[in-house]
């Protein structure tokens, strides 16, 4: 038995010492790609030991040829899935008050085309911009805005008219997706009472376009609240 051990152990030690090692750089991407290379090359007696913190991979095999083949395989097929840079988007939120009647509209010229479309499909004839907000957010963020509406200053209300807007923001290809969009506005219906108008939807926006998200009636007297959104990608 001693004789056998004396023959086997030196042979194992010589085999371990004769293995060839090479260290190469790689870009860790948080996936299991390198683990798959370990599984693939294990039958060839090739060992792969990645060290993500150092961004190095140790490749060990019985011969230099085996090491070179393993390294070439990794360099050719290892494709790090790099994280996409976070994109920021600037949203412009505009709230219009639309009413029937022949009174002139009080809106920015940039909204004229939208107002013309609204007139063609509703009984609303004159419009006023009662609030505008700019919201900048990064990809994947929740966006929210609230504030007081610039209602008719000649009327006296028990409290200021206000609104609340919230949505989840992601990208969908070239479009900007707003999921679970919720818009609520509480506006006066009389000197002592108020009504709530609300819009709930999900929508895709094309950067640079203004879109009417929805129209909600607060009361017959006050016409309707109209939510308009636009978005653009910014640095």
In angstroms, rounded to a whole number, what is the distance separating the alpha carbons of residues 195 and 102?
Answer: 24
pLDDT of residue 14: 47
Contact residues for 80 (Cβ-Cβ < 8 A; gap 6+): 26, 27, 28, 29, 33
Q: What is the mean pLDDT of the segment spanning 193-201?
A: 88
Q: What is the pLDDT of residues 110-158, one digit of tens each?
A: 899 988 888 888 888 889 999 999 999 988 889 999 999 887 655 556 6
Q: What is the mean pLDDT of the segment spanning 158-173?
A: 88
pLDDT of residue 220: 58
Q: Answer whether 81's CB lies under 8 Å from 31's CB.
A: yes
More confident residue, 159 or 8: 159
Beta strand 20-25 with 175-188: parallel, antiparallel or unpaired? Answer: unpaired
Q: What is the mean pLDDT of the segment spanning 83-108?
A: 84
Sorted by where each begins, the domain ranges of the chain are 2-77, 88-234
Q: Answer whether 175's CB lies under 8 Å from 205's CB.
A: yes
Q: Tokens for 27, please give them.
A: 């870009």
Cα-to-chain-centroid distance, residue 214: 23
Q: Answer whether 95's CB lies under 8 Å from 132's CB.
A: yes
Residue 25 confidence (pLDDT) above 90:
yes
- From the CA atom positions of the chain, what is the Rg in Å? 33
Determine what percent of the chain is predicted with pLDDT higher than 70: 86
Assessment of whether the complete model's pTM goes beyond 0.85: no
* Domain 2-77 class in CATH: alpha beta
pLDDT of residue 46: 93
Q: What is the mean pLDDT of the segment spanning 182-189?
A: 86
Q: How confident is the model at residue 160 (pLDDT cuts 50, 70, 90)?
A: confident
pLDDT of residue 151: 75
Q: How confident is the model at residue 7 (pLDDT cuts 50, 70, 90)?
A: very low
């Amino acid at each position: 038995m001693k004789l056998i051990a004396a023959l086997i152990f030196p042979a194992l030690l010589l085999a371990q010492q004769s293995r060839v090692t090479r260290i190469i750089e790689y870009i860790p991407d948080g996936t299991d790609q390198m683990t798959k290379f370990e599984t693939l090359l294990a039958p060839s007696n090739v060992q792969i030991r990645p060290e993500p913190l150092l961004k190095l991979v140790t490749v060990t095999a019985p011969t230099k040829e085996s090491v070179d083949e393993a390294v070439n395989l990794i360099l050719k097929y290892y494709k790090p899935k790099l994280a996409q840079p976070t994109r920021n988007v600037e949203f412009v939120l505009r709230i219009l008050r639309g009413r029937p009647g022949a009174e002139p509209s009080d809106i920015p010229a940039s909204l004229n085309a939208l107002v013309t479309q609204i007139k063609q499909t509703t009984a609303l004839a004159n419009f006023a911009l009662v609030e505008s907000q700019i919201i900048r957010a990064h990809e994947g963020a929740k966006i929210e805005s609230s504030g007081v509406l610039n209602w008719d200053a000649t009327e006296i209300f028990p409290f200021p008219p206000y609104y609340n807007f919230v949505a989840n923001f992601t990208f969908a290809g070239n479009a900007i997706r707003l999921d679970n969009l919720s818009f609520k506005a509480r506006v006066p219906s009389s000197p002592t009472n108020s009504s709530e108008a609300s819009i709930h939807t999900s929508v895709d926006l094309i950067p640079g376009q203004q879109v009417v998200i929805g129209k909600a009636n607060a009361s017959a007297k006050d016409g309707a609240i109209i939510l308009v959104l636009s978005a653009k990608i910014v640095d």
